[in-house]
Amino acid sequence: MNKSHIAILASGTGSNAKALIQFATEQGFNISCLITDNPMAGVIKIADDHHIECLIIEKKGSKSEHEACILQALKKREIDWILLAGYMRILSPGFVKAFYNQKYQVSHIINIHPSLLPKFPGAHAYQEAYAAEVQTSGITIHFVDEGIDSGKVIVQAEFPRLKEDSFEDFKKRGLALEHELYPKVMEKIINNTLFEEHL
């Protein structure tokens, strides 16, 4: 069995990227590269600290030109799985199609989202869930499709919002759960068991 070649795409702090990279390192698995569209992203240092190749691919022209640059970099490294970890751009249908698995009818692109989808899709899920005073929120890891946070769910997990929670407390609890679960999904990719266990 060939080993998977995994790339992480991230735009920000990179706490999920860090959890994934640390887990991979513990397993003796090498993440092929990390790609960011944001030259100021904290995730760059995380990749550097762990000696993971980090490509900064900024959007300078159109969306399709930007995606073409990313696709070229992925192809060159024979990437077969993409893990989105706080990547703040919506991938075009053409991009998703480039990683589509006909047999299983899902893409090889996975995203982590901080709500119990379909509740609170979009870029401000923690804020919206907190403002809605939900008693229970959660996180979702899902296959990426052409929509926004609408792909087939791989796993969801709940966490409580306590009465006395500040927004920071609430988000911290959610992020801890994200960091616990995302590596477990990656482990299934590494072991080639994701489809048999989740589809």
Given the rule CB under 6 A, which residues bind ligand GRF?
10, 12-17, 85-86, 112-114, 178
As measured in angstroms, the least distance from the Cβ of 33 to ligand GRF is: 17
Taking the least distance from each CB to ligand GRF, the nearer of 44 and 189 is 44
Is 108 known to be catalytic? no
User: Which residue in 66, 108, 113, 142 is the catalytic one?
Assistant: 113
Taking the least distance from each CB to ligand GRF, the nearer of 16 and 32 is 16
CB contact set of 3 (below 8 Å; sequence gap of 6+): 29, 190
**CA 37 – CA 164 distance, rounded (Å):** 37
Taking the least distance from each CB to ligand GRF, the nearer of 106 and 181 is 181
As measured in angstroms, the least distance from the Cβ of 101 to ligand GRF is: 22
As measured in angstroms, the least distance from the Cβ of 112 to ligand GRF is: 4
Residues with a catalytic annotation lie at: 113
